[in-house]
Chain A
Amino acid sequence: MAKAAAKNKRGIAGWLNPYHYNAERWAYTFQRVTGVAVLLYVLGHLGDTSFFVGGPTGTGPSASSWAFIGTVFENTFGHTILVLLVLALVFHGVNGIRLVLSEFGLILRKPSAIEFPYKPKALASGQRALIYVGIATAVLSAIWTYLVLFEGMG
Chain B
Amino acid sequence: MTDVRLLVQRFDPFKDEEPRLVEYKVPKREGMTVLDAILYARDYVDHSIALRFSCRQASCGSCGMKINGRPRLACYTQVDELAGEKVVAQPMENFAIIRDLVTDLGSFFEKHAEVVPQLVRSDLQEQEHPTSEYVMKPEELTRVLQFTYCIKCGLCTSSCPTVATDSEFPGPQALAQAYRYTADVRDEGGDGRIAILDTPHGIWRCHFAGSCSYVCPKGVDPALGIQLLKRHVMSGHAPRKAGEGSPTAKAGIPAHGPGSGSSSGG
Interface on A for B, CB 8 Å cutoff? 1-3, 5-15, 18-22, 24-25, 27-29, 31-32, 99, 102-105, 108-114, 116, 118, 120-123
B contact face: mostly helix, strand, loop, or mixed = loop
Q: Does B171 contact A (CB under 8 A)?
A: no
Residues of A within 8 A of B68 (CB): 20
Report whether B207 and A123 are in contact in the complex, using a CB–CB cutoff of 8 Å: no
B85 CB → nearest A CB, Å: 17
Report whether A118 and B219 are in contact in the complex, using a CB–CB cutoff of 8 Å: yes
B91 CB → nearest A CB, Å: 6
Q: Which 9 A-B pairs have the closest CB atoms?
A: A14-B164, A118-B219, A24-B210, A120-B213, A10-B164, A6-B13, A28-B209, A122-B223, A122-B224
| CA–CA, A123 and B159, complex, Å | 15
Residues of B within 8 A of A28 (CB): 161, 207-210
Residues of B within 8 A of A14 (CB): 93-94, 160-161, 163-165
Report whether B93 and A105 are in contact in the complex, using a CB–CB cutoff of 8 Å: no
Report whether A8 and B161 are in contact in the complex, using a CB–CB cutoff of 8 Å: no
Cross-interface CB contact of B224 among A27, A99, A108, A116, cutoff 8 Å: A108
Q: Does B150 contact A (CB under 8 A)?
A: no
Cross-interface CB contact of A116 among B159, B219, B225, cutoff 8 Å: B219
Identity of the chain A residue whose Cβ is nearest the Cβ of B183 in the assembled complex: A111
Residues of B within 8 A of A31 (CB): 207
B180 CB → nearest A CB, Å: 9
Report whether A99 and B228 are in contact in the complex, using a CB–CB cutoff of 8 Å: no
